[in-house]
Structure 1
Amino acid sequence: MTSFGEKLKSLRVDVKRLTLAEAANQLNVPRSNLNNWERGIAKPSLETLGKLAIFYNTTVDYLVGLDKNRQSETMVLYEALPKIYRERIDDLVRDYTELARLKKL
């Protein structure tokens, strides 16, 4: 079974093709923190775990070992859509998020 740290490193190197410094910069976390997470010395906070999942286009369940699939079925279907439809979905999500923020739903 692949550890949390091994998954993080694989996502950084094999999927995003980033150096440790580049990924840490884009995630806005100290390089040493990311290095420690990848090496299994430390674990990120729950908030940061969510940010890592978003950054690496995966799920928290995958990162923590509850799901073997790197992407959710919904994300696989979304990415298979033509660009025009993905853009429409993105616009709807942005609009709903803004509406929810304004109405505090």
Structure 2
Amino acid sequence: MIYRLDPAVVWFPGDGEVRFYHPVAREFRTLDGTAARIWLLLAEGGGSAAIAEQAAVAAQDVQEFVDLLLAQGLVRIDRQPPGPGPAEVLPGPAPRAAGG
């Protein structure tokens, strides 16, 4: 399963931490350490297993943290299949004229 940060959340990384503003809760928060690393990997669109591997954290711990973020409305499940969507389809070669 792939996760995406809620686009309404304003955030920025810095000095081993992530600071963000949650507009629904009207709160500023700071994540540090492993939580900040997981957040940054979520921002890249990762799934919990891949994030656990990259962050060198137990998959269960990552999933618990992601579940908490989901419950707080900070993260969403990306239900769009991987690959280009309809708006991202690149045009093919121009059609050839008949007889030419």
TM class by shorter chain equals 0.3 to 0.5
State the TM-score, normalizing by the size of structure 1. 0.32
- The structure with more radius of gyration: 2
State the TM-score, normalizing by the size of structure 2. 0.33
Q: Which structure has the highest strand share of the two?
A: 2
**Greater length-normalized contact order (CA 8 Å, ≥ 6 residues apart):** 2
Q: Which structure has the highest helix share of the two?
A: 1
